A = this chain, B = another copy of it.
Amino acid sequence: MENELMRVLKTRRSIRRFKDQPIEADKLATVLDAVRWSPSWANTQCWEIIVVTDMAQKEKLQATLAPKNPATKAMVGAPAVLVVCGKEHAAGWYDGKQATRFPDWLMFDLGIASQSIGLAAHSLGLGTVIVGLFDQAGADAVVGLPAGYQVVAMIPIGYPDNDPSAPKRREVSDFSHQNTF
């Protein structure tokens, strides 16, 4: 079934080339509001978002990526980079103990928040790409994170300068199952 939500979801692409055009403050505020309204483990809301627009900071963050990373140019070409960080030992933890077999439920909740960012941005005509392959510990230092927080992903954001085609997707019938695997 088609509706506006599905249109936004299906037409979103990972954007790695950006126009030299700033993001309006109200659009950026809306994208951050999309994080705010995301669900999270027991409403722990472990997210912290650092909006990097300073070129020297963007260059330092860019240096945490391998030069071959297809998003390297986007780290300075985009007018802003959203650094997605999480507070440790909140999501997935109870009484100071890990409550599931996964050490970092914060990864799951930051994935949720990142999808909110990508969809909200695209609904406003902005492009994003989620960058995961970089030296996260190096990025912690660049943004001055205190102990107990971790950089997980970085999301360059801005007006798209190209219109890439969609990478091939697995069919629903290939990844869905009835009652058992």
Contacts and interface: CB of A to CB of B under 8 A. Distances in A.
Given A92-B132, A107-B107, A180 B50 contact: yes
Contact of A5 (B43, B92, B123): B123
Nearest to A26: B1
Interface residues of A, number: 84
How often does this chain occur in the complex, in copies?
A: 2
Contact of A118 (B10, B39, B100, B108): B39
A146 interface: yes
B181 A143 contact: yes
B101 A111 contact: no
Interface of A: 1, 3-6, 8-10, 12, 14, 26-27, 29-30, 32-39, 41, 43, 45, 47-54, 57, 85, 92, 99-105, 107-116, 118-120, 123-124, 130, 132-134, 136-137, 143-146, 149, 152-153, 167-172, 175-181
